[in-house]
């Protein structure tokens, strides 16, 4: 139970962080890039134009290549995963926008969404792969490390 709560918190924070980061670095690396990386370009930030938060499709598109490489997905599995990701991110974003729900209700709703997402993923991934996908880190250093490990 404690692990499930931690996973829920990490995913909610991850989507929130994606929204926050995306406005600063979208054109210069997108999701998963640090804000420092985008400031080197000199065009975005507080004084530059503000962008809309990413859509579920944009977040899925940013993460999908990493998932495909990590889990060696075929084209069919890739499209199924894209659909599952978009659906899940849309639900999470909708939950984040809801006003008037107490924290416990939101936590339960998110946990229910997370369980549905995991159930869907089990149609194309093993139990271990589902857990790995749920907990994957998309920081720039983690993506670089995974790529280096795959190349060796």
Cα–Cα distance measured from residue 88 to residue 79, given in angstroms and rounded to the nearest whole number: 14
On average, the pLDDT of the chain sits at 77
* Helix, strand, coil tally for the chain in percent (to 5): 75, 0, 25
Greater confidence (100 vs 14) lies with: 100
Q: What pLDDT sits at residue 146?
A: 87
Query: Whole-prediction pTM value?
Result: 0.65
Cα–Cα distance measured from residue 119 to residue 122, given in angstroms and rounded to the nearest whole number: 5
Q: What pLDDT sits at residue 111?
A: 96
When pLDDT is cut at 50, 70 and 90, the band that residue 5 belongs to is very low
When pLDDT is cut at 50, 70 and 90, the band that residue 79 belongs to is very high
DSSP single-letter state for residue 43: S
When pLDDT is cut at 50, 70 and 90, the band that residue 80 belongs to is very high
Q: What are 22-56's pLDDT values in tens digits?
A: 443 333 333 343 333 333 344 444 555 677 889 99
Q: What are 102-130's pLDDT values in tens digits?
A: 999 999 999 999 999 999 999 999 999 99
Tokens matching residue 10? 């990490």
Mean pLDDT score, 75-100: 95
């Amino acid at each position: 139970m404690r692990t499930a709560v931690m996973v829920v918190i990490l995913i909610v924070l991850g989507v929130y962080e994606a929204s926050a980061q995306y406005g600063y670095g979208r054109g210069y690396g997108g999701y998963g890039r640090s804000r420092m990386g985008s400031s080197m370009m000199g065009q975005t930030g507080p004084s530059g134009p503000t962008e809309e938060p990413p859509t579920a499709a944009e977040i899925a598109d940013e993460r999908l290549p990493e998932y495909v490489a990590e889990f060696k997905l075929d084209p069919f599995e890739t499209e199924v995963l894209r659909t599952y990701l978009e659906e899940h991110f849309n639900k999470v974003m909708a939950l984040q926008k809801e006003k008037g729900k107490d924290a416990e209700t939101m936590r339960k709703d998110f946990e229910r969404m997370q369980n549905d997402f995991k159930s869907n993923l089990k149609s194309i991934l093993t139990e271990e792969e589902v857990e790995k996908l749920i907990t994957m880190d998309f920081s720039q250093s983690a993506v670089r490390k995974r790529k280096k490990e795959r190349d060796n």
